Structure 1
Amino acid sequence: MAQTSNSSILVIGAGTWGCSIALQLARRGYTRITVLDSSPFPSATAAGNDLNKIAEEANEPAETDSDDEYFWNRLTQLAMHAWKHDPLFSSLYHDTGFIMSAVGDEAYQRCVEYAQSEKNAPVPLNSKQDFQKTMPEGVLQGKFPGWRGFWKEESAGWVFASGALRAMYEEAVKLGVHFMAGSPEGSVEELLYTPNKDAVRGARTGDGVEHTAGQTILSAGANSDLLLDFKKQLRPTAWTLAHVPLSAEEAQHYRNLPVLYAVDRGFFIEPDIEKHEMKLCDEHPGYINPVSENDEFCSVPFARQQIPKEAASRMRLFLSETMPQFAHRGFSFARICWDADTVDRIFLIDRHPDLRNLVVAVGGSGNGFMACPAIGVLVADVLEGKSEERLQRMMKWRPEISFERNWWHAQGRYGAEGKVMDFRDVKEWTVGGM
């Protein structure tokens, strides 16, 4: 059903996707948009409230692409056009280059496939010296034991994540979007339904207020699963990050670096210019927090500004092989970061098939932030009934592929022995200080 600018719209979630959705709808002329979130903006637990995220251009989408290829190429095309040309986003994208690498043979094969898929062949890296030449002298002091990879010198890099989140929020507010953030007034306790349960009327917040709207958009990230039965389509999964503090002199020397990403080790991105902190992640298939409710398995997110000690050890290993000068430096910050994996890691953006007036926009599957400028476009198109057919076919509500879901499937990710990990097995937590 096509919407008009007078339609009332309720967006649940003020994270990366929620802000993108609100912004795009406001840009299209919608004037009655309310956004609810349980945390004051910007949420300390939002995945997008971060120093930076990896971004890179892809090949032009083609009719001959497989459905997966077409989805990612088209999505990336939409997102990168905004990162490069939209005045709101363009200053936040840094085209510094991207290195994709690996240590293990299976992980390296993924790098080879990546290189073969690129229209412009990236530079192969097969030795310590090859890696060291990608950055200024003295940055990569490690021995890179067993490392191999490829260097994409341009059309890739990173985006200033928290800056983009704030920019979307501030522009949306200027355009008239009403944000209600914080508990209890923004904390959604439950969806509101019509008496016969065939449509959603809005949501009830922790203060008992009923927020009704003509259309409700559920985009609460990993917490979406707590508000709606997604038929096993979502698996809330967490990853781990830390910040390495640098001196002002070090931060200057480490500017404009290509992102160094190893699919079975981790990655780092150049330090920010304000706090002089360098973001570091260990790469792995993720952690889940299993809970059994009514004999049904689910993973329930929780917030923590610490990481498992084992994750810190993996980060230390990554540093010892690449930048040993920092391998024993204490971390200034660490936290777990949640997203929701779909079975095929394709986003779930669709009208609910059984509940009228409800659109779901979930399932970032570890790729949600780079795509954020495109998310609002995709959701607005769904709302207005004018989605690109091939994209919509990929993003549809699809519980049929989730009935026999293996909750422990690594889904093409490496590192940490290639296994999804259980938070219940974590014995020690740390911020990573030495």
Structure 2
Amino acid sequence: MHKPYDFLIIGGGIFGVTAAISLAKRSYRIGLLNPQTIPHHLAASTDVSKAVRMEYGSDLEYFRMAEKSIEGWHDWNDLFGEELYREVGFLMLSPGPFEDPRHSFERASCEQLREAGYATERLDPAALRDRFPAVNSELYSDAHFNPRGGYARSGRVVEVLADYARSLGVEVCEGQTASGFLIEKGRLQAVQTREGQAYPCAQAIVAAGACTPYLLPELQPYLKATGHPVFWLQVKDPKLFSPPQLSVFSADISNSGWYGFPYLPEQGIVKVARHANGLELHPERDDRQISDAEVGELRLFLQKTFPALAEAPLVYTRRCLYTDTLDGHFWIDRHPEIEG
């Protein structure tokens, strides 16, 4: 029998490792379970880049959280002596003026930033062409650039944070897949794993990503896993797509869903992805392959937005899984029926 933990965290993605670090700093005894080595190759956190931006339309709460997180990213860069977060800026593109109701997300985002005192730039087609020559300025008549934003090297971030958690005394148990809970008289006693282990704990924190509604089936009416396409493209002219010639970008995102990243030097690629309804799937059983239709939609987007990428070789695809709630917001709460 394992020694009881004050907190046992299920899942070693970004939410799991940061929870472990935060609690370890408060002198709790922490365990962390993860099905494979960290970072897990299928985890949403395990990627080469994730956008870091304050542009959340009219949502002031998310704006403030993102604003605070950017301060934290700079702190981590200093703490670990490594550029885990790259502040290359965030560019919003719109095929019509922000004042058009169809582009209210972009307009509200600009207003939030301006009211908070950020020095940002509104770009007309001529300025867009000069600043970001890879973008088709004939299509996008309005644009906005915010230098306070960029991307995190997400897979590397999780790897570094897992090592940091270990240094703080967190016991990381890799190769252990949570499968159920041992409950007595309505109180959690231990977390059970597929591998036949039982980990006693006073409290358990479920940070299992897309597996959460399957670990806790009672959440299935409220949580679902959806997969969204991600594409890596090989480029002929890296300089054209490297900062400052290109930043993290969104292209009419509330209507089209398209966004992406500048040239990523470690991988030698440009990454483009689509935020939309996605494909509802089971995180372990279902196929995560990208369809020919989705590749065709990518090609059409590139032809219109980045002509120099229209025929760029596609070197890798993946399906990034979201864990969606009914309203799209975070779900952080205690279980209403199980103490602990």
Query: In which range does the TM-score fall when normalised by the shorter chain?
Result: 0.7 to 0.9
**Cross-structure match for 1:259:** 248
Alignment partner of 1:224 out of 202, 207, 212 = 212
Alignment partner of 2:87 out of 59, 84, 95 = 95
**Cross-structure match for 1:287:** 279
Asked whether 1:78 is paired with 2:68, we answer: yes
Query: Could you tell me how far 1:9 is from its partner in structure 2?
Result: 1.6
**Cross-structure match for 1:132:** 129
TM (normalized to structure 2)? 0.85
Query: Could you tell me how far 1:241 is from its partner in structure 2?
Result: 0.1
**Cross-structure match for 1:342:** 325
Matches within 5 A, 1:56-205: 56-57=53-54, 69=60, 71-86=61-76, 87-88=78-79, 91-103=83-95, 107-119=102-114, 120=118, 122-127=120-125, 129-135=126-132, 137=133, 139-140=134-135, 142=136, 144-145=138-139, 147-182=140-175, 186-194=176-184, 196=185, 198-205=186-193
Cα gap change, 1:115 to 1:180, in 2 (>3 Å): same
**Cross-structure match for 1:364:** none
Query: Could you tell me how far 1:121 is from its partner in structure 2?
Result: 7.1
Query: Could you tell me how far 1:143 is from its partner in structure 2?
Result: 5.6
Query: Could you tell me how far 1:11 is from its partner in structure 2?
Result: 0.6
Tell me the alpha carbon deviations over residues 259-302 of structure 1, each in whole angstroms, 9 at most, x when there is no partner. 1211015122112222212111134222213xxxxxxxxxx324
Asked whether 1:33 is paired with 2:15, we answer: no
RMSD after superposition: 2.5
TM (normalized to structure 1)? 0.68
Matches within 5 A, 1:282-361: 282-289=274-281, 300-302=282-284, 304=287, 306-357=289-340
Alignment partner of 2:45 out of 41, 45, 48 = 48
Alignment partner of 1:277 out of 256, 269, 278 = 269
Query: Could you tell me how far 1:345 is from its partner in structure 2?
Result: 2.1
Q: Give me the whole-angstrom Cα distance separating, in 2, the residues matched to 1:57 and 1:329.
A: 30
Q: Give me the whole-angstrom Cα distance separating, in 1, the residues matched to 2:161 and 2:209.
A: 17
Query: Could you tell me how far 1:150 is from its partner in structure 2?
Result: 2.8
Question: Would the aligned equivalents of 2:90 and 2:247 in 1 still touch at CA under 8 Å?
Answer: yes
Query: Could you tell me how far 1:235 is from its partner in structure 2?
Result: 2.2
Query: Could you tell me how far 1:322 is from its partner in structure 2?
Result: 2.2
Aligned length: 321
Query: Could you tell me how far 1:166 is from its partner in structure 2?
Result: 1.1
Query: Could you tell me how far 1:74 is from its partner in structure 2?
Result: 3.7
**Cross-structure match for 1:380:** none
Gaps of 5+ in 1: 1-5, 60-65, 290-299, 358-434
Q: Give me the whole-angstrom Cα distance separating, in 1, the residues matched to 2:288 and 2:224.
A: 21
Q: Give me the whole-angstrom Cα distance separating, in 2, the residues matched to 1:282 and 1:45.
A: 18
Alignment partner of 1:208 out of 191, 196, 207 = 196
Q: Give me the whole-angstrom Cα distance separating, in 2, the residues matched to 1:169 and 1:133.
A: 42
**Cross-structure match for 1:414:** none
Gaps of 5+ in 2: none
Query: Could you tell me how far 1:253 is from its partner in structure 2?
Result: 4.6
Q: Give me the whole-angstrom Cα distance separating, in 2, the residues matched to 1:14 and 1:304.
A: 23
Cα gap change, 1:207 to 1:301, in 2 (>3 Å): closer
Cα gap change, 1:179 to 1:221, in 2 (>3 Å): same
Determine helix, strand or coil for the equivalent of 1:28.
Answer: coil
Percent identity (aligned): 24
Asked whether 1:243 is paired with 2:232, we answer: yes
Question: Would the aligned equivalents of 1:241 and 1:279 in 2 still touch at CA under 8 Å?
Answer: yes
Question: Would the aligned equivalents of 2:89 and 2:150 in 1 still touch at CA under 8 Å?
Answer: yes
